[in-house]
Amino acid sequence: MTILELQSVSKSYGKTAVLQDVSLKVEPGEFVAIVGFSGAGKSTLVSLLSGLQQPDKGSALFKGEPITGPGPERGVVFQNYSLLPWLTVFQNILLAVEQVFETKSKQQQAEHADRYVAMVGLTHARDRRPHELSGGMRQRVALARALAAEPEVLLMDEPLSALDALTRATLQDELERIGRVSGKTILMITNDVDEAILLADRIVPLSAGPAATLGDSYCVDIARPRERVALNHDPHFREVRSSLIEYLMSTKKKKSAPSREIATPPMQAQPELSV
């Protein structure tokens, strides 16, 4: 059974079409990465799946039911962490735990939260506030908060793109492990082709905006656990990588021509207005 589905979804802000005719199916337990240029509408895609926004056309479905709003069964890791700065690491995670496991006792809730603090290796920083943490640590907290709610699906909006290369690599390995061990359905948005190949079972490229749409998906048949060093010599890795980049670049070229045409009508309209 399909767990997440987009059926020819379109979304625009004002007159700018962001997503056009986007269709996607995610099966349970799959790790899907969506790769695209920044500003192409990747975050909008996550907003639609999380229920923070509604599509203009088409429908977003969770287990076959239309998504009408956010819910704890779809955990979200935001690009900018979105931790509450006045709460400690533990309290940020506890907030999610309290909400999802209302019926548990205070003690059980605290233990549950602590388990996830430990899972992302932050027990030593349990009582620190976000501003005392590095970017990588903050993103770990955000990840722990999302996972602590034990969602059926994890939606990640460029979770690592704000990090430096080394921290990013460490966290990629960690995400790979968490994805493998938890067996959760994960949908990750990224602008990094290598990251997508390292982590995902399947990669769906998002064409350049405006009016971006999803291309054909690429299956990544590389055995897990994946080693980033070994990966560089894997012929399948190279093949997927080059065809992905080729596809993305070709959509960029196509888009730059008509986008100029779009820009012209208002320019012509201007003299009429001033008369």
Partner 1 sequence: MSREAAVAPATTAREEEMASSVSKGAVPRLSLLALPFLGVLAVVALWALVSSTVVQSLPSPWKTWETSRPYIIEPFEKRGELDQGILRFTWYSLVRVAKGYGIALLFGVPVGFLLGVSNAFRSSFDPIIQILRPVSPLAWLPLGLVIFGKPEPAGVFTIALCSMWPTVLNTALGVRSVPQDYLNVAKVLKLSRAKTLRKVLLPSALPYMFTGFRLSLGIAWLVIVAAEMLTGAPGVGGFLWQEYNALIYEHIILCILTIGTVGFVLDRMMGAVEKRLRTA
Closest contact distance (angstroms) between CB of 119 and partner 1 is 19
The one among 52, 169, 222, 231 contacting partner 1 by CB under 8 A: 52
**Could you identify the residue written with the tokens 């349990």?**
126
Residue 228 found at the interface with partner 1 (CB under 8 A): no
Nearest CB to partner 1, comparing residues 76 and 175: 76
**Interface segment toward partner 1; rule CB under 8 A; list 68-76, 196-204, 242-250, 253-261:** 68-76
Residue 136 found at the interface with partner 1 (CB under 8 A): no
Residue 69 found at the interface with partner 1 (CB under 8 A): yes
**Interface segment toward partner 1; rule CB under 8 A; list 76-84, 104-112, 168-176, 180-188:** 76-84
**Could you identify the residue written with the tokens 């999610």?**
96
Q: How far apart are CA 191 and CA 159, in angstroms?
A: 10
Give the CA dihedral 246, 247, 248, 251, nearest 10 degrees. Answer: 120
The one among 80, 170, 250, 256 contacting partner 1 by CB under 8 A: 80
The one among 20, 50, 109, 172 contacting partner 1 by CB under 8 A: 50
Q: Which two tokens stand for residue 119?
A: 């899972």
Residues 14-43 that bind partner 1 (CB under 8 A): 38
Closest contact distance (angstroms) between CB of 46 and partner 1 is 11
Nearest CB to partner 1, comparing residues 116 and 218: 116
Closest contact distance (angstroms) between CB of 96 and partner 1 is 6
Residue 84 found at the interface with partner 1 (CB under 8 A): yes
Residue 110 found at the interface with partner 1 (CB under 8 A): no
The one among 64, 85, 235, 271 contacting partner 1 by CB under 8 A: 85
Footprint on this chain of partner 1 (rule: CB under 8 A): 38, 50, 52, 69-72, 74-76, 78-80, 82, 84-86, 95-96, 99-100, 129, 131, 135, 149, 162
